[in-house]
Structure 1
Amino acid sequence: MLSLLIFLLLFPLADLAAKEIYMWRDENGVLVFSDTKRPGAKVISLADDKVTSMKKADTSVFEKNNTQTKIIEYGIQIVSPSHEETIRDNTGSLHVSARITPSFNPKFKAQLLFNGKRNTPPQSNAVFVMRNVDRGAHTLQAQLFDEEGNVVATSEQITFFMHRASSIAK
């Protein structure tokens, strides 16, 4: 983005000399440049000689946002199996995948709750494998822990159905 700003401010463009350029930070903190005015946008005016130095540019947007601390809200969602899905596996094997947003921090840990109980120790990825799951209805929920062990996100509880061949002889 800085390269774009330098390009816009230093490259001689006759048709841009008379226009106003606006800059602002979006909801993710990304610096945006546009010729369309938005609420809270700062005007960057290009000088008549088509060259504006960085000293003339209003840098208050940079300074103001550098002092703010952005709080990241994490989320975790079970993506496989889906809610009320039937799993057909005679060995009772179950593969559970969770999605973490915005992205998985390597210092964080994920844990799976099976029928309301912690089934696996916290681990550094969001894929879980379970073996010999009994037939019938079961619930799953995932939790995300920060580096201090605090729960920062919990998924919605889903129900799945394990379908295995009966062990009763016919």
Structure 2
Amino acid sequence: MSADRKATWLQCALIALLMLIGHSAVAEVYTYIDAEGNRVFTDQPRRNAKKVDIAPSNQIKAAPKKPSQASNAKDKPAPLFRYQLLRILAPEPDSTIRDIQGNLIVTVTNDPELQPGHTYRLLVDSKVYGGASRSPVFPLANLDRGTHQLSVEIVDEFGRVAERTPNQPFHVMRISLAQKRLAQPCKTDDYGVRPECPVKDKPPEKKSSILPFF
């Protein structure tokens, strides 16, 4: 066998072997010498063929990808902003509110001005009253008679309390209509105008006893 023919045969044999190995991870490979003295590799068993032991695959499994820091990173809140001043303007501390329906307007002021994403939150008797708002004016309605505690918070977009006023007391006196009429009697023009002077309670007008002159 010439050198060129032998080299060609070795190349063909190597290619055939690689194809057989790549064909199936569990395929069996056999080898034999044909009539011309050439070594042949095949996956089909036959007489006088010997099984070739194939070393196990040395494939390296790819390492699982770690989640990127960007996907896992959460938006960390910035340092909490602090206000120099937060104060309730009205009502004044320990003031008395006289209203039949128990209504009240609360106003607040702060310095510096309210920051973006920040809101006011009103607390009556340490409980949140209504929802958070960017308005510094809070209308309260139907408060019970008696003494209450009032405070206001400024919260940021993460729900953190940036500032809070101390609790300050105020008193609600819900005067009845009868008490109001007693304190300020209804006049003719008051009926239908003042809540304590309904039209149905308006006394009938007195007719003149002097006959008209003809």
Residue by residue, what CA displacement relative to the aligned partner does 1:69-99 show, whole Å, maximum 9, x if unpaired? Answer: xx85214211110000011111111100111
Residue by residue, what CA displacement relative to the aligned partner does 1:46-72 show, whole Å, maximum 9, x if unpaired? Answer: xxxxxxxxxxxxxxxxxxxxxxxxx85
What one-letter code is carried by the residue in structure 1 that aligns with 2:121? Answer: Q
User: Residue 122 of structure 1: SS of its match in structure 2?
Assistant: strand
Query: Which residue of structure 2 lines up, in the alignment, with residue 152 of structure 1?
Result: 162
Query: Which residue of structure 1 lines up, in the alignment, with residue 92 of structure 2?
Result: 82
The answer to whether structure 1 residue 96 and structure 2 residue 106 are counterparts is: yes
What one-letter code is carried by the residue in structure 2 that aligns with 1:91? Answer: Q
Residues 108 and 159 of structure 1: CA distance in aligned 2, closer, same or farther (over 3 Å): same
Residues 93 and 170 of structure 2 are in contact (CA less than 8 Å); yes or no, is this contact kept in structure 1?
yes
Q: CA deviation at 1:125?
A: 1.5
Q: CA deviation at 1:167?
A: 8.1
Q: Distance in 2 between matches of 1:128 and 1:166?
A: 25
Length-normalised TM-score, structure 1: 0.54
The answer to whether structure 1 residue 126 and structure 2 residue 126 are counterparts is: no
Q: Tell me which protein shows more strand as a share of its residues.
A: 1
Query: Which residue of structure 1 lines up, in the alignment, with residue 150 of structure 2?
Result: 140
Aligned runs of 1:6-85 on 2, under 5 Å?
73-74=82-83, 75-85=85-95
Q: Which runs of 4+ in 1 moved over 2 A?
A: 166-169
Q: Distance in 2 between matches of 1:163 and 1:77?
A: 24
Q: CA deviation at 1:106?
A: 3.8
In structure 2, the gaps of 5 or more residues are 1-79, 180-214
Length-normalised TM-score, structure 2: 0.43
Residues 114 and 140 of structure 1 are in contact (CA less than 8 Å); yes or no, is this contact kept in structure 2?
yes
Query: Which residue of structure 2 lines up, in the alignment, with residue 36 of structure 1?
Result: none
Query: Which residue of structure 2 lines up, in the alignment, with residue 109 of structure 1?
Result: 119
Q: CA deviation at 1:134?
A: 1.1
- Aligned length, in residue pairs: 101
Residues 100 and 177 of structure 2 are in contact (CA less than 8 Å); yes or no, is this contact kept in structure 1?
no
Q: Tell me which protein shows more helix as a share of its residues.
A: 2
Residues 106 and 124 of structure 1 are in contact (CA less than 8 Å); yes or no, is this contact kept in structure 2?
no
Residue by residue, what CA displacement relative to the aligned partner does 1:83-136 show, whole Å, maximum 9, x if unpaired? Answer: 000111111111001112111124211111101111121111221111111111
User: Residue 130 of structure 2: SS of its match in structure 1?
Assistant: coil
Does 1 or 2 have the higher relative contact order (CA < 8 Å, sep 6+)?
1
Work out which of the two has the higher radius of gyration on C-alpha atoms and give 1 or 2: 2
In structure 1, the gaps of 5 or more residues are 1-70
Residues 95 and 148 of structure 1: CA distance in aligned 2, closer, same or farther (over 3 Å): same
Please report the RMSD computed on the Cα atoms of aligned residues, expressed in angstroms.
2.4
Q: Distance in 2 between matches of 1:82 and 1:151?
A: 23
Q: Distance in 2 between matches of 1:137 and 1:161?
A: 4
